[in-house]
Structure formats: structure tokens, C-alpha cells
Amino acid sequence: MSYVNRPPRGQQRDKPYREALRMELAAAGEDMKKLREIARTHIEKAAAGDMQAIKELADRLDGRPAQMLEHGGPDSEPITKIVREIVYMPPPDEIESIEDMP
């Protein structure tokens, strides 16, 4: 597995630090010895009880927890139901024929 320069995707704009890390990792060789050493140190810090290391490791493995979003103001009712409705709109000539019916 080697790291190569890739064009930015979506909102991943110019990130020179990330690119520098990728270049250094690519220069370290295919076995990623330096990266594995960093990962080992990270795991050791988490095992020793470093809360920041534990949090970062959990975020990397499980993903960050979803952020709770509040919709509406303090006096508004919470959203309880969302309804999607498909409405058929007949063409104008069909509407005229319906209106002409007794």
C-alpha cells in the first residue's frame, strides 16, 4: 500500500500538512514501519489511561458520535411527523373536461 498524491475530493481543499504526511509515509517504504511505530505508541498511551489517546482511538475505530441537532426555537413544538405526498396534476385539457361534467 503506497500513498500517492490525489486530487482533492468534495470539500477536501488544499491540505499541505496531510500531503506532507503522505509523502513521508510513502518515503518510509511499503511496510509502513514508521506509521506502525506511531500507532503502537498511540495504543500504549491509551492503555496507560491517557484519556485524549483513548478518545482519539475510539473515534478512529468507531467513528465520532453523531451530533444531536435541535430543530426549532425554545418555544416551538418538536417535529413529530414528516409526510411526503405525491400529488397528481392532470393536464389542462383533462381539467377542462372534468369541470364541464354535471
> Rounded to an integer, what distance in angstroms lies between the CA atom of residue 79 and that of residue 96?
39
> Rounded to an integer, what distance in angstroms lies between the CA atom of residue 54 and that of residue 44?
10
Which grid coordinates are listed for 38? 506511531
Per-residue pLDDT of the chain (102 residues; tens, 9 = 90+): 455 566 555 555 678 888 888 888 888 777 888 888 888 999 999 999 999 999 999 998 888 888 877 666 666 676 678 888 888 888 888 777 766 666
pTM over 0.75: no
Distance from the Cα of residue 48 to its chain's centroid: 30
| Gyration radius of the chain over CA positions | 28
pLDDT value, residue 49: 95
